[in-house]
Chain A
Amino acid sequence: MRILLILAATAAVTGAACKKVISVDLNNAAPQLVIEGEVANVRGPFPVRISKSVPFSASNVYPPVTNADVYITDSTNGIVDHLSQPNSDSGVYLARGTVGVAGHTYVLSVTVDGKQYRAVSTMPKAVFLDSVTFALNFDFNNKQEINAVVNFQDPRGLGNYYQFTEKVNGRNIPNVFVFEDRLSDGRYIEQPLFNDSAYLQKNDTLLLTMNCVDKNIYNYFFTLANVTGNNNFQTATPANPSTNITGGALGYFSAHTTQKAEIVVY
């Protein structure tokens, strides 16, 4: 937020701050394994995507990892699901035998080139999304923007974590939206989802997803928000988000309840 304030202050005092694209000589780290997996309380199959990181200067094409051995275990009822990769060069593995149930704990286990990675996530209880409304807000440049507002009752008792995604006219909005009830326990929540760069326009079709996630996943997305290519103002000391995957992979494994709402922006 500081840089927004300071740019606004500078602009007010001196006219305008200047920005330009520069070239920075960055190191190329060895490719890192990235695992993204989910289980939800809807009908499967649930995808687990495995890919690798690339150098900063490369194109945004991330090589899939196709030789992984992937299992999801429902440790509450003991059901083990061995995931298959229907499209053998996609790096997308599907869990067809897993059923998402709130309160169950799921274990993801991935083996790639003899190395094992593991993650545990517990699906929280669902919180009902009442409605999605729209509001006009000003950003720090004083431009008016339309924001979706999510309306729901946070249940009494700390420890509810929410994650939202937006799809506008079929296109994913690359923005991280998370909310926790640390300062809002038991409140009726009317929370605008502030967009960083992709804005909603009147008459767009918005598909909004609300996930109730566990604490680790909230922390993951909260810290991920600082290091995405869509975040204009990174923190002073950015770091890799705190993942729930052990063994040295990037990414996350989330068991969550999910609800969707489709509406035309007004």
Chain B
Amino acid sequence: MAQTRYTANGTVRDKASGEVLIGASISIQEIPRSSILSNAYGFYSISAPAGQYHLLVSFSGYQTDTIDLALTKNLEVPVELVTAGNSLTAVVVSATKKNENVTRPLMGVQKLTTNEIKNVPVLFGEKDVLKTIQLLPGIQFAGDGNAGFFVRGGGADQNLILLDEATVYNPSHLLGFFSTFNSDAIKDITVFKGGMPAEYGGRLSSVVDIKMNDGNNKDYHFGGGIGLISTRLSAEGPIVKDRGSFSISGRRTYADLFLKLSPDSSVSDNSLYFYDLNVKANYKLGERDRVYLSGYFGRDYLSFGNTFGIDYGNATGTARWNHVFSSRLFSNTSLIYSKYSYKIRINSNNNNIGLTSNIKDLDLKEDLQYYIDAGNKVNFGFSAIHHAIAPGILSASATSSFNSLNLQSHYSLENAVYISHEWSPSERVHLDYGLRVSSFLALGPGAFYTYDANGNPKDSTYYSSGRVAKSYTNPEPRASLSLQLSEASSIKIAYNRNTQVLHLLSNSTSANPTDLWIPSSNNVKPGIADQESIGFYKNADNNRYEFSIEAYYKSLQNQIDYKNGAQLIANTNVESQLLFGKGRAYGLELFAKKKVGRLTGWISYTLSRTELQIDGINQDKWYPAKQDRTHDIAIVGIYPAGPKWTLSATWVYYTGNAVTFPSGKYQVDNQTAFYYTERNGYRMPAYHRMDVAATLQGKKRKKWESSWTFSIYNLYGRENAYSIVFQNDPGDPTKTQALQYALFRFVPAVTYNFKF
């Protein structure tokens, strides 16, 4: 007879704030390979035969806690950890289990906490999680003025960006200078570049899972910051002490207030600002139930006098219910709403035109985790998302040259079920494998067209409300395996398939607020990506240094490009403007991190290639994708220069994007026209830049804490090319010239932060 097994379960929290800790390591000291991680709600469950044990709980930046565990029955063991002290150290020291990067089967994963990024210099001194992750290997900065980023060769629209589980369709403010994530509101960010767990799906390249702070459930706290271009304020506190808490953070830029000061009315009539608001609350209903509500609202306003204006933004809401069915079965049910919309108005002479467009998601999601025993866990669940996309409603005044127009909305259902098993068959082998099955249903009401070879509508069928016009089902197998070679080194391999049913159509170099999302249909198939990766991980000098090498190969099907002169704006037949093909991406990522000591930081290097083959482009031959980057380097260093000062610097370098330049010129219609021979056959100049920051910790009073951050973006003033334009030489009509635009030289900034 097997001995009776009992289970200890509970939630891991920060002792001071009551904030739950995600990904804390819990193990039973006496049982090898019993270690598990707390889940997204801080929950853990660990089982063992009846006996006397010690529970070890550790988390990066916190002191390890050892708890006596008399496991003679099922127990609830809440855990509260104390921070490791010196909060000045940015990339913090973990107490034990410093080799988790080596032992866990997850690969292609990067995780950052807001605390870790607080000293990394950024543009205008606005801490930005989405910008800072771009300093990690395989995650590539899309360039100045662009919040988009490329993961292992994927396009910016192939990243699933989740804020408390809600999809954020446009993660950028001010045309890409800032991300929509106010770091005051963010607890942590995890990026999956490969080996995605089966609970995630919907995009080909990556999942960026961003979690908001729950709020302090013990005391009220307030904080904020005043910078050159924005002000932030936040508040948090208990709703009922130890039972529930709330957190509110807001920010608004005020660049436009400076515009108002201009005596020139053509400048002061312009507006240019954004705001966002993050709110979250949670409440413990009982020992087994907790509810969470979180929301995000943000909007950008840009206008040029009375003639042109655009506003755009996201709104998301998530309602979640955690329920502990038993000490081993944890459930979370989420109801999620997400909306992205934009509105354009144009007033010129007789034309008063408004154009609105939006995408609305409603998502029901269920995730269950069953803790079988130590090192043996099953995750399963489902998700059903209803997408409603209104591509454009154009309203024109009576005198306008344009007709009012209401483009047909697209309705669809994106469903998925999944199951995965995390399992350690031996002390040295960890396995995480599973299957996600996704299904997509394009729904009526609406007409579905077919097109002839020239892109003219051939036929159309009308489907009434709720009827299925087209469906796709895709099994998505996922597996990763880690083989530990020694206490400090391991090899991991992973395979995963991802699919993507929503496609972003964009005719410009980088993401625009007006880019168009379209669902898959009878003409447009879901994209499919298969990725294999292998990595070697080694920690040295007692886990003070962390090294990794990862190599990946990704093949992509059903990739989209556009016909020459594609008309994407207000076009019912936009699907006829598309071309389809395949892609491949492969690369090598090297990462070295120094985690302990006065100087901390990392070096990341990516060598990669990304190519596309689209029928109808470049004589159907393979060509480099825009984001093909041969070399990509990032170096980050942080150094506390005394009890008050922390200095930091970053340096980035990457090969210029692949671009199309002319290979000749000719005259037509009395004008010079340029002659092109191949798609993306040239390169932009290499990009490099150094940023520095210094943070001065103010005098600590009883409750009041403050700091000043001084930073310079682009320290040596390199004029990195934003765009290269070919044109007639204005000074010599017999010549043509290449003109390079750069957005910045040096951008100094100062920010004052406080909390009490």
Interface residues of A (CB under 8 A from B): 1-3, 5-10, 12-14, 17-24, 26-29, 31-32, 34, 36, 51-56, 58-62, 135, 137-138, 140, 142-144, 149, 165, 172, 174-176, 182-192, 197, 219, 221-224, 226-242, 250-252
* Contact across chains for B177 and A224 when beta carbons are under 8 A apart: no
* Contact across chains for B304 and A250 when beta carbons are under 8 A apart: no
Query: Which residues in A have their C-beta under 8 angstroms from that of B728?
Result: 60, 174, 229-230
Query: Which residues in B have their C-beta under 8 angstroms from that of A60?
Result: 665, 667, 672, 728, 733-736
- Cα distance A187–B742 when bound, in Å? 42
Residue of B nearest to A175 (CB): B671
The 7 lowest CB-CB distance pairs between A and B, nearest first, are: A229-B672, A223-B565, A53-B666, A142-B266, A229-B728, A29-B663, A236-B509
* Contact across chains for B680 and A237 when beta carbons are under 8 A apart: yes
Q: Does B522 contact A (CB under 8 A)?
A: no
* Contact across chains for A187 and B665 when beta carbons are under 8 A apart: no
Query: Which residues in A have their C-beta under 8 angstroms from that of B669?
Result: 36, 165, 176, 221, 224
Q: Which of A29, A138, A219 contacts B675 (CB 8 A)?
A: A29
* Contact across chains for B741 and A7 when beta carbons are under 8 A apart: yes
Asked, given contacts A17-B722, A187-B400, A191-B401, whether A242 binds B673 with beta carbons under 8 Å apart, the answer is no
Given contacts A56-B726, A184-B403, A221-B669, 16 further A-B contacts (CB under 8 A): A5-B302, A6-B722, A9-B177, A22-B740, A24-B724, A26-B661, A29-B675, A34-B666, A142-B267, A183-B403, A183-B405, A184-B401, A190-B350, A227-B674, A228-B673, A229-B665
* Contact across chains for B734 and A229 when beta carbons are under 8 A apart: no
7 A-B pairs whose Cβ atoms sit less than 8 Å apart in the complex: A5-B175, A9-B302, A14-B743, A24-B661, A60-B736, A233-B725, A252-B668
Query: Which residues in B have their C-beta under 8 angstroms from that of A62?
Result: 666-667
* Contact across chains for A185 and B403 when beta carbons are under 8 A apart: yes
* Contact across chains for A234 and B675 when beta carbons are under 8 A apart: no
* Contact across chains for B668 and A239 when beta carbons are under 8 A apart: no
Query: Which residues in A have their C-beta under 8 angstroms from that of B124?
Result: 13
Query: Which residues in A have their C-beta under 8 angstroms from that of B672?
Result: 60, 174, 228-230
Query: Which residues in A have their C-beta under 8 angstroms from that of B745?
Result: 18
Query: Which residues in B have their C-beta under 8 angstroms from that of A22?
Result: 724, 738-740
Q: List residues of B (726-756) whose CB comes within 8 Å of A's CBs.
A: 726-728, 730, 733-745, 747
- Cα distance A176–B738 when bound, in Å? 21
Asked, given contacts A138-B305, A223-B564, A237-B680, whether A61 binds B727 with beta carbons under 8 Å apart, the answer is no
Asked, given contacts A60-B734, A184-B403, A191-B401, whether A53 binds B743 with beta carbons under 8 Å apart, the answer is no
Q: Does B259 contact A (CB under 8 A)?
A: yes
Q: List residues of B (696-744) whose CB comes within 8 Å of A's CBs.
A: 719, 722-728, 730, 733-744
* Contact across chains for B673 and A229 when beta carbons are under 8 A apart: yes
Query: Which residues in A have their C-beta under 8 angstroms from that of B3?
Result: none
Q: Which of A18, A137, A144, A250 contacts B348 (CB 8 A)?
A: A137
Q: Which of A20, A53, A61, A223 contacts B664 (CB 8 A)?
A: A53
* Contact across chains for B726 and A13 when beta carbons are under 8 A apart: no
Q: Which of B270, B570, B626, B734 contacts A61 (CB 8 A)?
A: B734
Kindly provide the distance from the CB of A188 to the nearest chain B CB, expressed in whole angstroms: 7
Q: Which of B394, B666, B747 contacts A183 (CB 8 A)?
A: B394
* Contact across chains for A172 and B675 when beta carbons are under 8 A apart: no
Q: Does B450 contact A (CB under 8 A)?
A: no
Q: Which of B272, B350, B734 contacts A59 (CB 8 A)?
A: B734
Kindly provide the distance from the CB of B485 to the nearest chain A CB, expressed in whole angstroms: 46
- Cα distance A188–B398 when bound, in Å? 10
Query: Which residues in B have their C-beta under 8 angstroms from that of A187?
Result: 400-403
Residue of A nearest to B511 (CB): A2
Q: List residues of B (354-404) whose CB comes within 8 Å of A's CBs.
A: 394, 399-403
Asked, given contacts A21-B737, A187-B403, whether A2 binds B663 with beta carbons under 8 Å apart, the answer is no
- Cα distance A55–B662 when bound, in Å? 9
* Contact across chains for B679 and A237 when beta carbons are under 8 A apart: yes
- Cα distance A142–B306 when bound, in Å? 11
Query: Which residues in A have their C-beta under 8 angstroms from that of B177?
Result: 9, 13
* Contact across chains for B259 and A12 when beta carbons are under 8 A apart: yes
Query: Which residues in B have their C-beta under 8 angstroms from that of A51?
Result: 666-667
Q: Does B676 contact A (CB under 8 A)?
A: yes
Query: Which residues in A have their C-beta under 8 angstroms from that of B677?
Result: 27, 29
Q: Does B486 contact A (CB under 8 A)?
A: no
Residue of A nearest to B253 (CB): A13
Query: Which residues in B have their C-beta under 8 angstroms from that of A36?
Result: 668-669
Residue of B nearest to A25 (CB): B682
Query: Which residues in A have their C-beta under 8 angstroms from that of B304?
Result: 8, 138, 140, 142
Asked, given contacts A183-B402, A183-B570, A230-B727, whether A54 binds B744 with beta carbons under 8 Å apart, the answer is no
- Cα distance A29–B682 when bound, in Å? 14
* Contact across chains for A28 and B738 when beta carbons are under 8 A apart: no
Asked, given contacts A18-B719, A24-B661, whether A238 binds B739 with beta carbons under 8 Å apart, the answer is no
Residue of A nearest to B515 (CB): A2
- Cα distance A175–B734 when bound, in Å? 17
* Contact across chains for A229 and B402 when beta carbons are under 8 A apart: no
Query: Which residues in B have their C-beta under 8 angstroms from that of A61?
Result: 734
Query: Which residues in A have their C-beta under 8 angstroms from that of B350?
Result: 190
